């Protein structure tokens, strides 16, 4: 984490665009916000756009605003972020058509609202994030190379939690403080057995998963110390061979399906249209399967 803090400091000193990459839940959004808060733009707005959650047809008006139709004038995120920082979250999901428009805005620092031909100056620093391998997306022709170079001026790669086990202990203590305060409980720490269990896990969901796990432990524990049995790993644990025994294939497939659907929903911020698209099924079918599997959302 010290290395990450260092990089945040360096990124905050300049006004160059930043690309933050790393697996899901590693803290990309958090890092983006910290860069903003430590930069000379800190008094300006910090505006976040989750690209993954915006339908393609609305992308342009979301980003650049609109003066079209009966609607009154609508400012886009670029204008909102004027004088500050614009976080483009999940940038690899930006459709190719919108990439051209974004490139123009990034290069010229000018935008045009949809349905207008007036250019508006915008002073915006861009931080983009993605958990995809963006170089691969460029190589596959899904992401424009010119835009990639414009965004990738500074690059922050956040390693997964399993590659920085020393951070796990620090984060565990931090989350214990945070959630015991919220729950009004006095919890001193974790038992030896619990810590072993915590350290031996691989955290496919990274810091987010660790945080959820500690939050859950704080809520369910009956003692002033978190015990091994209070530590419940998330749904995305691959079942051990023993737990397969005695279950029918149908049951096992159902568990797997549940896991896949939950992971996809989480990735798409629970926007069902997006998740359905990612899974290549209709939204209707997704809703039906969710209901069947008892997934609320
Ligand atoms: N160093 C940290 N200290 C405390 N909390 C952290 C840290 N890193 C991440 N978190 C927490 O973990 C959660 C996930 O972080 P964040 O949303 O920034 O991840 P992300 O990389 O953007 O994930 P995704 O790719 O899924 O969007 C958040 O609740 C965040 O507050
Ligand atoms: Mg994020």
Ligand 1 centroid – CA 211 distance (Å): 9
Measured from CB, residues less than 6 Å from any atom of ligand 1 are 1, 22, 24-30, 129, 131, 171, 174, 207-208, 211
> Strand 110-112 and strand 85-89: pairing?
unpaired
For the chain, how are helix, strand and coil distributed in percent, rounded to 5?
55, 15, 35
Q: Among 5-14, 48-57, 237-246, 266-275, where is mean pLDDT lowest?
A: 237-246
Computed over every residue of the chain, the mean pLDDT equals 92
pTM of full prediction above 0.95 = no
Q: For tokens 């414009």, what's the residue?
A: 150
**How is the chain split into domains, by residue range?**
2-159, 162-230, 246-293
The domain defined by 246-293 carries CATH number 1.10.10: yes
Using one digit for the tens of pLDDT, what is the confidence trace for 129-155? 999 999 999 999 999 999 999 999 999
pLDDT for the residue numbered 254: 86
Q: For tokens 């999940």, what's the residue?
A: 90
pLDDT for the residue numbered 236: 45
Distance CA 193, CA 80 (A): 50
Cβ atoms of residues 105 and 66 within 8 Å: no
Phi-psi region of 115 (alpha: psi -120 to 50; beta: other; left: phi over 0): left
Considering only the C-alpha atoms of the chain, give the largest distance between any 2 of them, rounded to a whole number of Å: 68
Tell me the C-alpha to C-alpha distance, in Å, between residue 257 and each of 12, 23, 220, 284: 42, 22, 27, 16
Using one digit for the tens of pLDDT, what is the confidence trace for 60-86? 999 999 998 766 789 999 999 999 999
Give the residue whose CA is nearest to atom 25 of ligand 1: 24
Distance CA 206, CA 131 (A): 12
Q: What would the two tokens of residue 212 be?
A: 């959820």
Give the residue whose CA is nearest to atom 13 of ligand 1: 208
The domain defined by 2-159 carries CATH number 3.40.50.300: yes
Task: Read off the pLDDT of each residue in 92-108 and give the average, rounded to a whole number.
Answer: 96
Q: What would the two tokens of residue 141 be?
A: 């022709």
Distance CA 230, CA 227 (A): 5
Among residues 96, 98, 102, which one has the least CA distance to residue 140? 96
Give helix 206-220 / helix 192-199 axis angle, nearest 10°.
160
Using one digit for the tens of pLDDT, what is the confidence trace for 210-260? 999 999 999 989 999 999 999 988 644 444 555 667 778 888 888 889 889
Ligand 1 centroid – CA 129 distance (Å): 12
Cβ atoms of residues 210 and 171 within 8 Å: yes
- Residue 89 alpha carbon, nearest atom of ligand 1: 27
Among the four given CATH numbers 3.40.50.300, 1.10.10.10, 3.40.50.2000, 1.10.8.60, the one describing domain 162-230:
1.10.8.60
- Burial degree of 51 (CB within 10 A; 0-12, 13-18, 19+): buried
């Amino acid at each position: 984490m010290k290395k990450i803090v260092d990089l945040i400091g360096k990124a905050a000193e300049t006004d160059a665009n930043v690309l933050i990459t790393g697996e899901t839940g590693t803290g990309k959004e958090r890092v983006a916000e910290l860069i903003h808060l430590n930069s000379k733009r800190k008094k300006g707005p910090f505006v976040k756009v989750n690209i993954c959650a915006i339908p393609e047809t609305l992308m342009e008006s979301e980003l650049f605003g609109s003066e079209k139709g009966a609607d009154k004038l609508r400012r886009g995120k670029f204008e909102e972020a004027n004088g500050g920082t614009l976080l483009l979250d999940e940038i690899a999901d930006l459709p190719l058509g919108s990439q051209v428009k974004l490139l123009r805005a990034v290069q010229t620092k000018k935008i045009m609202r949809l349905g207008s031909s007036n250019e508006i100056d915008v002073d915006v620093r861009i931080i983009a994030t993605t958990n995809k391998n963006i170089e691969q997306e460029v190589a596959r022709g899904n992401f424009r190379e010119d835009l990639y170079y414009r965004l990738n001026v500074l690059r922050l790669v956040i390693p997964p939690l399993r590659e920085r086990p020393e951070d796990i202990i620090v984060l565990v203590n931090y989350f214990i403080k945070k959630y015991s305060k919220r729950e009004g409980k006095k919890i001193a720490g974790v038992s030896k057995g619990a810590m072993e269990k915590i350290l031996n896990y691989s955290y496919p969901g990274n810091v987010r998963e660790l945080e959820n796990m500690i939050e859950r432990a704080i809520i369910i524990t009956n003692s002033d110390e978190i015990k091994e049995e209070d530590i419940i790993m998330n749904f995305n644990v691959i079942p051990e061979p023993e737990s397969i025994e005695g279950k029918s294939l149908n049951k096992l497939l159902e568990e797997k399906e549940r896991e896949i659907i939950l992971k996809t929903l989480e990735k798409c911020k629970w926007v069902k249209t997006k998740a359905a698209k990612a899974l290549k099924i209709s939204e209707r079918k997704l809703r039906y399967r969710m209901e069947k599997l008892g997934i609320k959302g």
